[in-house]
Amino acid sequence: MTKMAPVGLDRYRSIISEWDEFLAACDRPLPTDLRTNTLRIRPEDLRVRFAHCGIALEPFAWEPTFFRTAQPVGATLEHWAGLFYLQEITQSIPVAALDPQPGELVLDLCAAPGGKTTDIAARMQNRGRLVANEPNGRRQQALLANVNRVGTWNVAISEYRGQDFPLGGGFDRVLVDAPCSAEGTLRKESSLRNGASPSAIRRLARIQEMLVLRGFDLLRVGGRLVYSTCTFAPEENEAIVAHLLECRRARVVRLALPFPCASGLTSWNHLRYPEEVAGCARIYPHHLDSGGGFVARIERLA
């Protein structure tokens, strides 16, 4: 028998083809995933170290720095020493799409608590310059603690409102992992089981429009922007990308991910989005038995 969807999530029934699988995944406990901090240890060495403690780590074939485990690891010495970062596998996708390189100038515009910031720093091998921006003082403390714990030294922390970040940076790459209604985190946030309110979605979409434009304006010509959220709402995802395409000389670079996922929507509630928005990716909880999210990779044209 088909499960009944929570009221707020039922609005997505028409766009999620594997509806029953989606609902079943939403009802399951969230697995524990972790990312190896390659600044301090190799993935295989971390796996062996945990095996000696009787903790099994199962690797992801397409993302070798990530593991999944059935045992609690947050209170281990390895975590305290910064050998790994507890992070859902879905959260690796925006940084993989950004593909930061050693020696580049990179901006994480909405950085706290630091999971993606520290992933970027590791992929840059602590070489180049990475600006992690977070305007909220309390969240800054979490960001700073995580940056220090994993041993990054190419990170500078700034505290601007994202939409007011000073222009003229000429960044090679910018990540805008925007504040959102976070429906994709419903497996660990019971308050989101009925979806986000329409008023919250509208309010956040206005902020996201400003953030994505500012992030794009901070790129050098030919630079790469990744816009990502952890929500299902098209108003916060495809609509924001469409807004950027309308306002700036930008193009969507199609994402080809190494696992099943859904394409970006080109229509929603009688609205049409540019066809190239289909090159974005929607990740639902049943795709990776993880959280949900949206990822768009965008290039700044001359």
Per-residue DSSP letters for 118-157?
Answer: HHHHHHTTT-SEEEEE---HHHHHHHHHHHHHTT--SEEE
Residue of 227, 228, 230 whose CA lies nearest to 183: 230
End-to-end CA distance of the chain: 54
How far is it between the farthest Cα atoms of the chain? 57
Q: Which parts of 55-133 fold into alpha helices (H)?
A: 77-80, 93-98, 115-123
Amino acid letter, residue 130: L
Catalytic residue among 110, 180, 230, 280: 230
Contacts of residue 10, Cβ cutoff 8 Å, sequence gap at least 6 = none
Backbone angles phi, psi at 244, to 5 degrees: -65, -45
Q: Is 230 a catalytic residue?
A: yes
Do residues 142 and 112 make contact, with C-beta atoms less than 8 angstroms apart?
yes
Q: List b or e across 235-259, with b for residues whose CB sees 16 or more CB atoms inside 10 angstroms.
A: bbbbbbbbbbbeebebebbebeeee
Positions annotated as catalytic residues are 230
